[in-house]
Amino acid sequence: RNRLWKYELQRFVDETQIAVTVCHFPPGTSKWNKIEHRMFSHISKNWRGRPLTSHEVMVNLIANTTTESGLKIQAALDSNEYLTGITFSDREMKTLSLEKNDFHGEWNYSIYPTKNR
């Protein structure tokens, strides 16, 4: 998926002619994500004790989560089918106009428009 993400991002950059810089959080740092703390705890409380019998039930429970302080969550089921098993060779990856950042280039990089597309 990492390769597919970078490939599709290159397509977006080439289409828009706008360079994109990506900075991923390193593994294990989601515990510092404010959204997870502010939202997921309320979702969990809302569906506590209810059987999650279908996607529709889950989406409705998530979408009906609110708090007294005004949190309202929007949720929708994405029922599109997506291809699986898409692979990109090392040779194809070398065609990307990708520049790794000096600080943790595996997580931080920029993708630039290619000149010949």
Domain spans in the chain, listed from the N-terminal domain onward = 2-111
- Position of tokens 């810089």? 21
pLDDT over threshold 80, residue 38: no
The confidence score (pLDDT) of residue 39 equals 82
Claim: this prediction has a pTM higher than 0.75: no
| CA pair distance 20, 109, nearest whole angstrom | 8
Torsion over CA: 91, 93, 98, 103 (sign): negative
Q: CA-to-CA distance for 33 and 29, rounded, in angstroms?
A: 7
For residue 96, what pLDDT is reported? 95
